[in-house]
Structure 1
Amino acid sequence: MNLVRQPMLEPSGHMLQNYAASEHLFLMAEDNPIDAAMFSEMFCQAFGRSVQLVCVDRFDKIPEQLNTRQFDALILDLDLPDSSGIENIQKIKQPYPNLPIIVLTGNDDLSLALDSLQNGAQDYLSKNKVTPDLLTRSIFYAKERKQSELELKGALDDLYTKNIQLESLAKHDSLTGLANRSYFHDEANHILTRAKRHELKSALLYFDLNNFKKINDSYGHLAGDTLLKQTADRLRLVVRESDFIARLGGDEFVIITDILSHKEEVFPLIQRIEEQFNYPFEIGPHQLEMKPSIGIAFYPDADNLDALIKQADFAMYEAKKNKGNNICFYSEKIAQQHYRNKDIENHLIEAIEQGELFTAFQPIVSVQPGKPVHFEALARWKSKSLGNIRPDEFIPIAESTPLINSITQVMTRNTKLLLELSKHRRQPIGSISINVSARQLTCKNFGQTFLQWLDEQNIDSQHICLELTETQAIENYQQCLDQFMFLRSQGIKISLDDFGSGFASTNHLLDLPFDIIKLDKQLIRCIDKNTRGQALVAGTIEMAHRLNMTVIAEGMENFEERQTVIDLGCDYLQGFLIAKPLSLGAAASFSQCGPSQPFSRQS
């Protein structure tokens, strides 16, 4: 009680006079008529006509009065016929927490006074010592102490509420309201502990949103945030109360299930999640189609949380590779591939620094004799640690990191070497194609950066063609369009690689400013025997020519295919039949001698 009593100041006579002069209503619980009369008189002496005192003689009558009127204070005799003792204070305090209570007793025991204060009374009066002045002071003190107690309680309640809010902020993601990474780790470990104790299973689903970055780039981060919040709202609808869902950061979410008897029990949850992405997200005026990539791993196949998260993460990235199937369960094969990819990525940094990457140049020859040979610059890697690494292994890995720019720089430097060697031999060559990725083109400054690389090597942009695959061009249509327009304005040619392998339409050919389209080898294979394929290729070539585009047939492997595409009007040929990718010196020699046999269209 010292905390409550310390702030109290001795009231001045003026303060007491003002207090006594104001209107007051008091409730007194006293069963002795003589004591009741004595106190009634004291109240009149202390407060005069401005006071009204209501007396009751039983404890059960106190609530009846308190429920009908607002009293300034309660003067409570602890020894009433229907209830007595310190407990009476608590019985009144709990339902009426704002009411000042003054204990009245004929007992001068100091310990009783302390017990009364500790149990919630604001002051203590002895019937044997009370005077009108002491009564006034006691009531004044009681009201002041009660006010101080309420203010202190309010401050403590505010502090408690703020602590709860801070604890919630520490545990939850501020954007979506879902649990954050730290809170997830705590709760997930509890679930795994229960699963271990009961010798049961648990599933962890790790997923993100496909092409989420494109939403931020195309519509802004506010739209991206709205999408994340709507995703969180949808996910809340499908998880059971016993499951635990969290946002780990960015567009990554994770769900750990309550303990399972069988792995198959997770299938309904997966289905419910998929169904939530079957209809579009409304972001302002836009309706956006989104799909997640979901990786799933199980405890106790992974015997701790870190391993479980890692396995589900591996599976999620494998799911991203599987077009049309966005769900993948973890397996050892996936893990081995993941570790292989990580090994390649780690060694690739060293390979670039130590010059392990080199360039092979594959000729692209015209069907018309006497025209310069063009080349495609192809990245090759012979690792001191890993041996020969196939391009289809290390290029996709590089494309997911900034390392792809370093590889493009290597290709640019080696392109300069071929141009210089050809110039030295006085054998002009056509353009040299350098492959770029959609990741590079989605960077706003890539065009300027690439031109800077050309300037550093003193390469005329007229000698350079940039190639992008059909699939990447279509999936990143708007970003590619802006970059292509800029690069073409600087004299660089743009080539659409692997045309016919994806979903490009005539609209894309009309809208995207390509100079060259390269027919995918799937269109060329066995074309001499495939009349429907011939019709398709002939129509594509005719359309491309009308759009002032040059057509190259890739994957040329036999004389029959070569002759057929020549007859259909193709402009250039590329493939093992013409030449395999060549070293720098061999490429320069090829540009002098050309292919072993000349090409011409048969009439």
Structure 2
Amino acid sequence: MVVELPNTFLRKRYILCSVGISLFVYKEVIKLTIIKPIMKRSNGDDNAPFYHSNEPSVFKESGETKIVQDSTDCQHIKQQLANKEQEAMIIYNNLEEVVWSIDIPSKDVLFCSNGFEKLYGYTLDYIISEQEYWQSLIHPDDRSKMKRAIEDLLKGEKLFVQYRYYHPSGEIRWIEVKCFPILNDQHQLTKLDGIMWDITDKKHMEERKEYLAYHDYLTDLPNRRQFDSRMDELVKNPHSVESFGLLFLDLDRFKHINDMLGHFIGDQLIKEISDRLRECVGHQHFVARMGGDEFSSILYGVDVDQAIEIADQITKQVREPYFIKGYELHITTSIGISMYPFDGEEANHMIHNTDAALYHAKHMGKNTHQIYTPSMNITSHKVYYLEKDIRKAIYRDELFLEYQPKVSSKTGEIMGAEALIRWEHSEWGRVSPGEFIPIAEESDLICEIGNWVIYQVCQQLHDWKRSGIDLVPISINVSPKQLLKENFTQTIMEACKIYSIDPTSLHIEITETSLIQSSIVVNETLTTLKDIGITLSLDDFGIGYSSLTHIRQFDLDVLKIDKSFINNLPDQQEDVTIISSLITMAHGLGLKIVAEGVEKQDQLSFLQQQECDYIQGYLFSKPILANEFITLLNKNRLQNKHPHYT
């Protein structure tokens, strides 16, 4: 039993010193007493020592003594260990990792942190007792790997493995395990200590990263890297497919939409176009986004006629309208086509030749496709030099202007003219605006060239005025990029001041893409131009994405109907309806109408019937030099080239 030692025991003692041991001798004990190994502190004092004896002690009246041990330090250490163990438990149970330890002979769980059941959905005891069921929860593709790892572990080797596991919730989780075997002196496995993590999110990120290495992030289409891999595989294994068609697609005017409406609208448009391309190409072929507004397609096992048929289907589908965030968008695509092995037996040759065909398609007016021919490489060579030389064209005096008259549909009187830029290259001769204007747009030289046109027109008006010629307004085409320049209005006013030109002598023609630009700079620029008396014309009306709201917002004066609507008049009933509606609408808003590209008498007759205000086209005059224009202007009235003009 446990007893309280009397104070006399504490007072009357001999202390025999040994390492870590105090011996107490008690001589005055009244009766026999049994002392247990661990005894309470005396007097209820928390600071009093503990007493310990390895065996029960017997005290007799004869005065025999018994040795006991002071175990205070030992008890303090044990308490500290218990506290540390409790602290460790708190830490382990709050870790994201799961820590556990198993005694192998007894299969008892020595320790397991709280996260195990959350990770697995079961307790460790259950997993140990139901080994076959646990193994059935491992993903089939990982079972053999886990079996080999466990066999090595039981042999005393460390285990490190990642595997998939069917959680009771139904989801598949990735688990990473590190396990350390503990062996005895006979090299027998006695214990397993392990730590594991839920690496599901990490694996998903790795899988996504690997996916994006070969797929476009926006459209989920294969990307350029996967395209290159497919091409290399095809040409290195020619027996895998006898022939295939290669298509390169470039969206026409996409950059304008992206610049004017912003990247969000542009991204949504790209996604919708990608969906249409998937549908056109089908699962049996390959389509990729190469970047920006460029796509490619590999058509397996097709001949040239089949490739053309698919290309036609693509151009038809792409040009159907898109409705995004309140905008009705219209866009077209140009396509270059080459055939393997006829147009190249190596991947880089096929790519180069298809690219040349694409450029030719854009040069031919866009919204079309072109089959590669060897002569197209000459065109590509020309483009390279045009990009270099356009920067020098102004300083070499290779640029000049031509003027195309605008006449009254009723009288034939010249009411104005449009200034059109031309380039006489020292090597290539006359370069079409369709070739160099897009290059200037991409390189941002369009602003410098545009300013040159403004000063040239003002200077020409000044010269005509000094010669006593009655002036008519001259229209200048302005790029959307020019309107974004804060000093654009200042440039015009400065040119008018230098050459003493009344701003009312200038008409500014802007494209529809300019109207959808939400920039404050554009709004202020157009307002200022109106304030100083400049007439604003909307060019190529009907082929883009303007709305009546934009037309009214910017207080436009003139609408120019695009020539694509004029070409089929009056035979195409759809175009007849569109033109009639446009003219009626414009007049209702107080706007004048100019019809571009009028070349035939029956076109003129229809436009006269619809009361179109002005006519511009080869029926009256092609674009001509300044001196030729003055000759026509002096006649005041143009006669069309057909005899039935009234």
TM bracket, shorter-chain basis: 0.5 to 0.7
State the TM-score, normalizing by the size of structure 1.
0.59
Paired residues in the alignment total 468
The Cα of 1:446 is off from its aligned counterpart by: 6.0
- What pairs up with 1:167-316 in 2 under 5 angstroms? 167-195=210-238, 200-213=242-255, 215-216=257-258, 219-236=261-278, 239=281, 243-258=285-300, 260=301, 262-264=303-305, 266=307, 270=311, 273=314, 277=318, 283-284=324-325, 291-300=332-341, 301-316=343-358
Q: Distance in 2 between matches of 1:330 and 1:452?
A: 44
Q: Distance in 1 between matches of 2:268 and 2:321?
A: 13
Q: Distance in 2 between matches of 1:26 and 1:596?
A: 110
Further displaced range: 358-367 or 416-425: 358-367
1:417-460 CA-partner distances (Å, limit 9, x unpaired)? 334434545x25324414315xx147642696155244145254
| Higher normalized helix content (fraction of residues) | 1
1:494-526 CA-partner distances (Å, limit 9, x unpaired)? 4678768343521563478756x5555736x5x
Aligned residue among 450, 459, 462 for 2:503: 462
Q: Secondary structure at the match of 2:297?
A: strand
Gaps of 5+ in 1: 1-10, 29-38, 51-65, 75-89, 104-114, 131-137, 545-550, 558-574
1:341-394 CA-partner distances (Å, limit 9, x unpaired)? 55444433322122222345677899999x999665443443333334466765
Quote the sequence identity (%). 22
Q: Distance in 1 between matches of 2:307 and 2:609?
A: 51
CA contact (8 A) 2:423 2:431 kept: yes
Partner of 2:474: 433
* 1:452 has 2:504 as partner: no
Partner of 1:122: 181
Q: Distance in 2 between matches of 1:521 and 1:261?
A: 39
The Cα of 1:185 is off from its aligned counterpart by: 1.8
Q: Distance in 1 between matches of 2:598 and 2:474?
A: 21
Partner of 1:94: 146
The Cα of 1:491 is off from its aligned counterpart by: 0.9
Structure 1 vs Structure 2 CA RMSD = 5.6
Q: Distance in 1 between matches of 2:355 and 2:292?
A: 14
Q: Distance in 1 between matches of 2:444 and 2:285?
A: 37
The Cα of 1:490 is off from its aligned counterpart by: 2.5
CA contact (8 A) 1:372 1:428 kept: no
Q: Distance in 2 between matches of 1:238 and 1:13?
A: 75
- What pairs up with 1:183-582 in 2 under 5 angstroms? 183-195=226-238, 200-213=242-255, 215-216=257-258, 219-236=261-278, 239=281, 243-258=285-300, 260=301, 262-264=303-305, 266=307, 270=311, 273=314, 277=318, 283-284=324-325, 291-300=332-341, 301-320=343-362, 326-360=368-402, 377-389=419-431, 402-425=444-467, 427=468, 429-436=470-477, 440-441=479-480, 444-445=483-484, 449=488, 451-456=490-495, 458=497, 459=499, 460-466=501-507, 468=509, 487-494=529-536, 501-503=563-565, 504=579, 505-507=582-584, 509-510=586-587, 518=594, 522=598, 527=601, 533-534=604-605, 536-537=607-608, 539-540=610-611, 544=613, 551=614, 555=618, 575=621, 581-582=625-626
* 1:594 has 2:634 as partner: yes
CA contact (8 A) 2:597 2:618 kept: yes
Structure with higher Rg: it is 2
CA contact (8 A) 1:203 1:296 kept: yes
The Cα of 1:296 is off from its aligned counterpart by: 1.8
CA contact (8 A) 1:461 1:490 kept: no
Specify the code of the residue in structure 2 equivalent to 1:379.
I
Distance verdict in 2 for CA 1:126–1:511, change over 3 Å: farther
The Cα of 1:175 is off from its aligned counterpart by: 1.8
Specify the code of the residue in structure 1 equivalent to 2:353.
Q
Distance verdict in 2 for CA 1:510–1:446, change over 3 Å: farther
- What pairs up with 1:37-48 in 2 under 5 angstroms? none
Distance verdict in 2 for CA 1:381–1:13, change over 3 Å: closer
Further displaced range: 264-273 or 308-317: 264-273
The Cα of 1:179 is off from its aligned counterpart by: 2.8
Further displaced range: 290-299 or 118-127: 118-127
Partner of 2:26: none
1:552-583 CA-partner distances (Å, limit 9, x unpaired)? 666576xxxxxxxxxxxxxxxxx48xx96334
Q: Distance in 2 between matches of 1:249 and 1:494?
A: 36
Partner of 1:3: none
Q: Distance in 1 between matches of 2:503 and 2:237?
A: 67
1:199-247 CA-partner distances (Å, limit 9, x unpaired)? 8322222113444345435654223222323433454456566644321
Distance verdict in 2 for CA 1:373–1:17, change over 3 Å: closer
Q: Distance in 2 between matches of 1:167 and 1:359?
A: 54
Gaps of 5+ in 2: 1-77, 90-99, 112-122, 132-141, 160-178, 540-559, 566-578, 640-645
CA contact (8 A) 2:258 2:265 kept: yes
Distance verdict in 2 for CA 1:533–1:389, change over 3 Å: closer
The Cα of 1:123 is off from its aligned counterpart by: 2.5
Q: Secondary structure at the match of 1:94?
A: helix
The Cα of 1:188 is off from its aligned counterpart by: 2.0
Distance verdict in 2 for CA 1:327–1:553, change over 3 Å: closer
| Higher normalized strand content (fraction of residues) | 2
Q: Distance in 2 between matches of 1:262 and 1:69?
A: 64
Partner of 1:547: none
CA contact (8 A) 1:363 1:581 kept: no
Specify the code of the residue in structure 2 equivalent to 1:249.
G
CA contact (8 A) 1:201 1:263 kept: no
Q: Secondary structure at the match of 1:488?
A: helix
Distance verdict in 2 for CA 1:334–1:435, change over 3 Å: farther
State the TM-score, normalizing by the size of structure 2.
0.55
Distance verdict in 2 for CA 1:485–1:314, change over 3 Å: farther
Q: Distance in 2 between matches of 1:278 and 1:424?
A: 50
Distance verdict in 2 for CA 1:160–1:211, change over 3 Å: same
Tell me: higher relative CO, structure 1 or 2? Use CA pairs within 8 A at least 6 residues apart: 1
